[in-house]
Amino acid sequence: MSNVKNRIKSSVKVPKTDNSKRSLQGHIRPVHQNVNVSILSKAASTNSRLDLHGFRNLAYIMLICSNLRLLVENYLNHGFSIPIQSLGIPRDDVRIGIYCTLLIPCHLLLANIIERTAIKTLKNKKNTSSYELWTQFAALHAINEFACLAITTLIVQFYVYHPLVGTILLVHSVILCLKVTSYALANRELRAAYLNNLPVPELYRSHPYPSNLAFSNLVYFWWAPTLVYQPVYPRSPNIRITFVLRCITEVCVLSLGIWFLSAQYATPILKSSIPLLNTREYALVFERLLKLASVSIIVWLMGFVVVFQSMLNLLAEIMRFGDREFYKDWWNSGSVSTYWRLWNRPMNTFFRRHIYFPLMKRGYGATSSTVIVFTVSAILHELVVGIATHNLIGVAFISMMLQIPLSLATAPLEQMRGPGTTIGNCIFWLSFFLGQPLNILLYYFAWNVRYQK
Amino acid sequence: MSNVKNRIKSSVKVPKTDNSKRSLQGHIRPVHQNVNVSILSKAASTNSRLDLHGFRNLAYIMLICSNLRLLVENYLNHGFSIPIQSLGIPRDDVRIGIYCTLLIPCHLLLANIIERTAIKTLKNKKNTSSYELWTQFAALHAINEFACLAITTLIVQFYVYHPLVGTILLVHSVILCLKVTSYALANRELRAAYLNNLPVPELYRSHPYPSNLAFSNLVYFWWAPTLVYQPVYPRSPNIRITFVLRCITEVCVLSLGIWFLSAQYATPILKSSIPLLNTREYALVFERLLKLASVSIIVWLMGFVVVFQSMLNLLAEIMRFGDREFYKDWWNSGSVSTYWRLWNRPMNTFFRRHIYFPLMKRGYGATSSTVIVFTVSAILHELVVGIATHNLIGVAFISMMLQIPLSLATAPLEQMRGPGTTIGNCIFWLSFFLGQPLNILLYYFAWNVRYQK
């Protein structure tokens, strides 16, 4: 018997001296010991939160790989299709562009001359009918502002062919027009305060009116990365040469990137969608639109960084301009209105200081003031895009005006916080993601109808 | 003079009684008051963390929209290309499939008969040379296990045409083979414990050896959603009919979904890649591979849910099987080895109980035990895929064996925690995301070479 036992033990490799339980090889170890529920069943039945964060990484990998696939597909279909030689800008456009670029800032000088004349005249003629004089100088400023926009608009409409040149000139004139407006409005109030001995903000003490009308002060405002005139700005202590060089590098690299993406990826999509728009095959156009959306959002983001981060910071560093909040974290916006408030701070600051709050002071409500601000912004958008592409088709205007209902729809979501903000953020991104390429497509189509048919 | 002042005041709408500062319209309100840094500059210079969570929503929107585009593109190119009538399974395959399905479980019955004979013989012949008997019964079990796999393999290789039928039969035979193995190994140890009066786990008290060899116990193990034999399992109290119905609905809906995705999206990609593989245009094949990857990962995930959540839970509910941890949260795995440990718990439990730990007890190191486990798994994978597609090309085997270096490479990342785990998780997903479709493509190609040339 003991012999048998030994043999059995040895056959299952049970050394005699070992603890008998450990000596078995574990084939009878109970592995199903407890009642357990599958994670997905549990989450479904008790509403407990599933930890799915790993799928986020999968989503990113899918996104990267599917875009990588599009790169390969694009290369196989088009090779490298970049016009290395030129952007196709006619020589005349360059010539007119240079004249305009030199001409536009003159309106700022004109505003300065009007203001100098105004204070000189009002000081000398204190006893004559100055009300009319105030109105006359206001009218002169208004004519100057209008001329700043109107001249460039007419030149671009009738003499500039290339949309890129047109866009640059129009953006330049809009910026200068807003600067002139701010300069005129601010100095008008400073003049009133000066003549009536009203107090002005502490910050402006070092350059009291009318000493702020000096030429150097004007030049500073001309180049400062702001649309809002102040006699005095907060300044940074010095110019960091490494920062300047980094900004310049960023501008060069990102501009090249934008050019490459536009030429290599966006242009073929736009070109291939023209026949589809002609034959009204809207399902195919929608497919093109979705394909364009990924490129255009990346180009837009790179454009945002190049302008609002690199260029404006470069300018600020060189001008020792202190307040560099050119944008806030608009990408986290829980509503469309928050986006518009955060993404373009210089423009937003201008609108608030010179349109929104003055309208409120005149008794307009918040909603009508907002509508007016968006309308002005919509007109400027249509002006830039519509004139530069020689097609005032109103799409940019309508797109901007649609921001008002979108803002109203997403504002309550943002106030809900948590998932509400996420939904609001998604609505903002979706409208942005699809709205941008739709605008591009329609203006490109209108351009083609005009010039290539 | 006072007249002039009044007129000036009225021209800028300054009511006399008002606080003079408030009465101006705010055009000189200082808006640039502080020195501020742009968020992106700040993050770059001080390494402070940028809050970019909004871009995550953009990533999801881009992913959804780009896949939506692929749906539109697919519809425009292929219409609805689903073979509604049949899956193309020959009638002979169905007949052979049914015979095999009935035959395979008989090996479990055989194992039971061998075990019954063993204990009867050993009890009666206590005084004869039982060492040889133990070896003989072990050999009988081994032959039975081998036969379970081998018979199905030969039948599928030589008589079954359709890969779907072949796969189902082979998976069935692998499952039964593992069940038979576990049944044999566990009962062998229970037998040894019984004959030597060694203690057995508390849980098994209610069904002591050899009463656990009863037919009802065998049938329960046959249908229980586990590969590991225990005389007693933890049980759930009752069968919830709503849960059963939900599982059945899930199985139907998800199976239809998998069928639709495979026929509508995966098949055209596979078909179009065959000529490219023939002409060895690897850049184009890579493009096809990336396109296939998105479909195959979704099909795989749906397949995972249908098998490991719906089917196994359905079976568990009907059998009142308590331990339903058929998977853990493998999607968050920080390393490849963690994935293999978590995703398929029944298989993992089998390997640990019957191969890994017994090997360790016999003095093998952790690494060599792991290598052996992966090798067995690799052989089984190649068996199922290679025989079902009639092409033992070794790709599935190699893919599984590559999991060993991938596991070794990602294990230190997981132990770093934080970003390390994220990188490990991404490596796991990427190898999965690209490895799956590569395998599918190669077996599909081999199949086409064999049957359509």
Complex ipTM value: 0.85
3-state secondary structure B83-145: CCCCCCCCHHHHHHHHHHHHHCCHHHHHHHHHHHHHHHHHHHCCCCCHHHHHHHHHHHHHHHH
Same domain, yes or no: B333 and B449: yes
pLDDT tier, B23 (very low <50, low <70, confident <90, very high otherwise): low
Of B263 and B11, more confident:
B263
Is the pLDDT at B4 greater than 70, yes or no? no
Alpha carbons B87 and A73: distance in angstroms, whole number: 32
Specify if A82 maps to a domain.
no
Alpha carbons B6 and A134: distance in angstroms, whole number: 13
* Whether the bond into B234 is cis, omega within 30 of 0: no
* Contacts with A32 from chain B: Cβ below 8 Å: 226, 228, 230, 233-234, 322-323
Chain B within 8 Å of A63 (Cβ-Cβ)?
Answer: yes
- Catalytic residue flag (residue A381): yes
Neighbours of A233 (CB within 10 A): 23
Instruction: Name which of B1, B4, B9, B178 to mutate to probe chain A: the one with the most chain A Cβ atoms within 10 A of its Cβ.
Output: B4
Of A141, A162, A381, A390, catalytic: A381
Specify if A204 maps to a domain.
yes
- Calculate how close chain B gets to A359, using CA atoms only, in Å: 9
**Boundary-marking domain end, from A263, A288, A322:** A322
Chain B within 8 Å of A126 (Cβ-Cβ)?
Answer: yes
* Contacts with B5 from chain A: Cβ below 8 Å: 195-196
Q: Search chain A and give the residue with CA nearest B225.
A: A32
Whether residue B40 contacts residue A309, with contact meaning beta carbons closer than 8 Å, is answered with: yes
Specify if A45 maps to a domain.
no
- Calculate how close chain B gets to A377, using CA atoms only, in Å: 19
Same domain, yes or no: B312 and B348: no
Same domain, yes or no: A309 and A262: yes
Whether residue A334 contacts residue A421, with contact meaning beta carbons closer than 8 Å, is answered with: yes
Chain B within 8 Å of A199 (Cβ-Cβ)?
Answer: yes
Neighbours of B175 (CB within 10 A): 17
The pLDDT of residue A86 is 64
Is the pLDDT at B96 greater than 80, yes or no? yes
Same domain, yes or no: A339 and A398: yes
Per-residue pLDDT of chain A (453 residues; tens, 9 = 90+): 344 444 444 444 433 333 344 457 789 999 999 988 888 887 777 777 788 889 999 999 999 999 999 999 898 888 887 666 567 788 999 999 999 999 999 999 999 999 999 999 888 766 556 788 889 999 999 999 999 999 999 999 999 999 999 999 999 999 999 999 999 999 999 999 998 888 889 899 999 998 999 999 999 999 999 999 999 999 999 999 999 999 999 999 999 999 999 989 999 999 999 999 999 889 899 999 999 999 999 999 999 999 999 999 999 999 999 999 999 999 999 999 999 999 999 999 999 999 999 999 999 999 999 999 999 999 999 999 999 999 999 999 999 999 999 999 999 999 987 888 999 999 999 999 999 999 999 999 999 988 875
Whether residues B35 and A236 touch (CB distance < 8 A) is answered with yes
Specify if A42 maps to a domain.
no
Same domain, yes or no: B260 and B163: no
Same domain, yes or no: B438 and B410: yes
What is the average per-residue pLDDT within B252-277? 93
- Calculate how close chain B gets to A185, using CA atoms only, in Å: 6
Same domain, yes or no: A112 and A206: yes
pLDDT tier, B1 (very low <50, low <70, confident <90, very high otherwise): very low
Q: Would you list the DSSP string of A7-53?
A: HHHHHTT--TTS-HHHHS-STT-----S-B--HHHHHHHH-PPP--H
Same domain, yes or no: B294 and B335: no
Residue B36 forms beta bridges with which residues? A323
- Calculate how close chain B gets to A91, using CA atoms only, in Å: 38
Q: What are the helix and strand counts (H, E) for chain A?
A: 20, 0
Task: Please name the residues between 275 and 294 in chain B that touch chain A, using a CB distance below 8 Å.
Answer: 283-284, 286-287, 290-291, 293-294
Specify if A372 maps to a domain.
yes
Chain B within 8 Å of A429 (Cβ-Cβ)?
Answer: yes
Which residue range is the domain that position B255 belongs to? 234-322
Question: Based on the number of CB atoms within 10 Å of its own CB, is B316 exposed (0-12), middle (13-18) or buried (19 or more)?
Answer: buried
Same domain, yes or no: A302 and A346: no
The pLDDT of residue B89 is 85
Residue B19 dihedral angles phi and psi, to the nearest 5°: -60, 125
Helix (H) or strand (E) holding B208: none
Look up residue B399 and give its amino acid: S
Specify if B430 maps to a domain.
yes
Tokens 């010991």, located at residue? A33
Specify if A178 maps to a domain.
yes
**Boundary-marking domain end, from B180, B201, B223:** B223
**Boundary-marking domain end, from A322, A337, A355:** A322
Same domain, yes or no: B97 and B218: yes
Same domain, yes or no: B201 and B270: no
pLDDT tier, B84 (very low <50, low <70, confident <90, very high otherwise): low
Specify if B42 maps to a domain.
no
Alpha carbons A93 and A164: distance in angstroms, whole number: 10
What is the average per-residue pLDDT within B421-437? 94
* Contacts with B37 from chain A: Cβ below 8 Å: 324
Share above pLDDT 90 across residues of chain B, in percent, rounded to a whole number: 74
Same domain, yes or no: B109 and B167: yes
Structural domain count, chain B: 3
Whether residue B434 contacts residue B289, with contact meaning beta carbons closer than 8 Å, is answered with: yes
